[in-house]
Amino acid sequence: MRTSIDVHISEVGPRDGLQSVSATMPTADKCRWIDALAAAGLREIEVGSFVPAKLLPQMADVAAVVRHALTLPGLRVMALVPNRRGAEAALTAGVHKLTLPVSASEAHSLANVRKTSAQMVEELRSVVALRNEVAPGVPVEVGLSTAFGCTLQGAVAEDDVIRLALACVEVGVDEVGLSDTTGMAHPAQVRRLFTRLRAALGEHAGAAHMHNTRGLGLANCLAAYDVGVRSFDSSLGGLGGCPYAPGASGNVVTEDLVFMFEAMGVSTGIDLQQLFAAREPLKAGLPGEPVYGMTPEAGLPRGWLA
């Protein structure tokens, strides 16, 4: 494993993955899983979401999980918040980074957060004002959901995606990335839309969050990399999807993403053998839940030195 890091990989399994399965992983198992992910070299982990427990009981213990994650040296602890109330709770808990979901599809936005996209931009304005007041060092990130298409609405106009991204930056968000929430993206579309995003937002253009619903997750990550993206979300074992987007399954598998980049000579700072080992606390905490990944199944090539 090389010491320099060429791409940043943010692990979203403890939030995106766990909220998408019916079972609830016990808090102790979540903490063991996060420990193993950090030991593998992941430097940013989305450890949960601050949402009402009645809506997502899988996240009811998020404050306790954050407290534990904050004890791990060198780890940036990130949490998703849907609104100002969630942001208040997350900042009180001490998270290092906030991420908010803003959907480019009106239908998905209403299903996911019960607000229009424009209303979510106003919610962002309130969250940024809160951040500026109580925790000015905490970045606020937006992942534009359904940026590549929506199972509820259908096609999403690229001009709408760029306009919404600009609106998010105008209210003070630090980064805006693009999410293929429903797994509808293809590489040509990814290159085109991320090229436009980077041209429009400059340093505020953020991560690629791809799903593998149709088997194109890694291809889409590579397409994003080819046009300059250097930050990627993924989930150990491919856990996750979106409970409010029918048919949305399977985040990009962290193990496969790391292998792809390392095999290319692009350093992630992550140890693959330790990453494979991090699957064990995941399996122990969610017995019987399917986990995916071609690289863990095949093993590393003979003579692997990364």
Phi, psi of 144 (to 5 degrees): -75, 100
190 CB-near residues (< 8 Å, 6+ apart): 148, 180, 208, 210, 220, 223, 224
pLDDT tens sequence across 43-79: 999 999 999 999 899 999 999 999 999 999 999 999 9
Question: What is the CATH number for 241?
Answer: 3.20.20.70
Instruction: Indicate whether 260 belongs to any domain.
Output: yes
Q: Considering only CA atoms, which of 232, 277, 265 is closest in space to residue 251?
A: 232
Tally the domains of the chain. 1
- The span from the CA of 59 to the CA of 185, in Å, is 28
Provide the pLDDT for residue 221.
Answer: 98
Element (H, E) at 264: none
**Choosing from 150, 168, 221, 242, which is the catalytic residue?**
242
pTM (2 d.p.): 0.94
Stretches where the chain sits below pLDDT 70 are 1-3, 112-113, 241-249, 306
150 is catalytic: no
| pLDDT recorded at residue 203 | 97
pLDDT score, position 255: 97
| 217 inside domain | yes
80 in a structural domain: yes
Judge whether 97 lies within some domain. yes
Q: Give the per-residue pLDDT at 1.
A: 42
For residue 302, being part of any structural domain is answered with no
Q: Domain range for residue 219?
A: 8-295
